[in-house]
Amino acid sequence: MTHESTAVGLASAYSNATTASGDWWRDAVIYQVYVRSFADSDGDGIGDLRGVRSRLPHLARLGVDAVWLTPFYVSPQADGGYDVADYRAVDPLFGDLADADELVRAAHELGLRVIVDVVPNHTSERHPWFRAALAGEPGARERYLFRRGRGADGSLPPNDWESIFGGPAWTRVADGEWYLHLFAPEQPDLDWTHPEVTAEFDSVLRFWLDLGVDGFRIDVAHGMVKADGLPDIGRGAQATLIGTEPLPFFDQDGVHEIHRAWRRLLDSYEGARIGVAEAWAPSSERLALYVRPDELHQAFNFRFLNCPWDPGAMRTVIDESLSATTAVGAPTTWVLSNHDVVRHVTRYGGGAQGLARARAAAMLMLSLPGSAYLYQGEELGLPEVADLPPESRQDPAFRRGRRQQIPAPSVDPAPGPGPAAPGIIAPRPGEPTPPQSAPSPHSQPESGAGPQPQACCVPQTQAGAGPGPDPLTAPQAHAPTRPQTEAGTGPQAQACCGPQADLLTAPQAHGPTRPQAETGTGPQAQAGTGPEAEPGAGPAPEPCTAPQAHGPTRPQAETGTGPQAQACCGPQAVTGAGPEAEMGGGAGGDPLTAPEADGQDGLRDGCRVPIPWAGAEPPYGFGPVGSWLPQPPEWAGLSVAAQTGDPHSTLELYRAALELRRAMPGLGAPEAGPSPDPRGMRWLPSPDGVLLFTRPGFACTLNTRPEPVELPAPGRPVLSSAPVETDGRTVRLPPDSCTWWAF
Cα four-point dihedral sign 146, 82, 29, 360? negative
Which is catalytic among the residues 65, 83, 219, 601? Answer: 219
109 is catalytic: no
Across 343-493, the runs of DSSP E, i.e. the strands, are 371-375
The full DSSP string for 99-122 is HHHHHHHHHHHTT-EEEEEE--SB
- Inter-axis angle of helices 650-663 and 351-367, nearest 10: 10
Separation of alpha carbons 525 and 189, rounded Å? 30
Residue pair 606/388 in contact by the 8 Å Cβ criterion: yes
Q: Residue 9, Cβ neighbours under 10 Å: how many?
A: 11
DSSP 325: H
Strand partners, 716: 742
Residues in Cβ contact with 252 at an 8 Å cutoff, skipping those fewer than 6 apart: 225, 226, 227
Separation of alpha carbons 328 and 530, rounded Å? 52
Say if residue 91 is exposed, middle or buried (CB neighbours under 10 Å; 0-12, 13-18, 19+): buried
Residues in Cβ contact with 610 at an 8 Å cutoff, skipping those fewer than 6 apart: 36, 37, 38, 40, 47, 619, 622, 623, 627, 628, 629, 631
Cα 699 from chain centroid?
32
Cα 208 from chain centroid?
21
- Inter-axis angle of helices 97-109 and 195-211, nearest 10: 50
Separation of alpha carbons 524 and 348, rounded Å? 30
C-alpha pair distances (Å), 692 with each of 314, 358, 683, 701, 720: 12, 18, 6, 5, 14
Tell me how long the chain is. Answer: 743
C-alpha pair distances (Å), 368 with each of 28, 334, 682: 12, 8, 11
Residues in Cβ contact with 703 at an 8 Å cutoff, skipping those fewer than 6 apart: 360, 689, 690, 709, 733, 734, 735, 736, 737, 738
C-alpha pair distances (Å), 133 with each of 6, 145, 187: 58, 11, 13
Q: Residue 8, Cβ neighbours under 10 Å: how many?
A: 15
What do you get for the CA distance between the two ends of the chain, in Å? 18
219 is catalytic: yes
Which is catalytic among the residues 40, 65, 191, 278? Answer: 278
Radius of gyration of the chain (CA): 25
Give me the active site residues, please: 219, 278
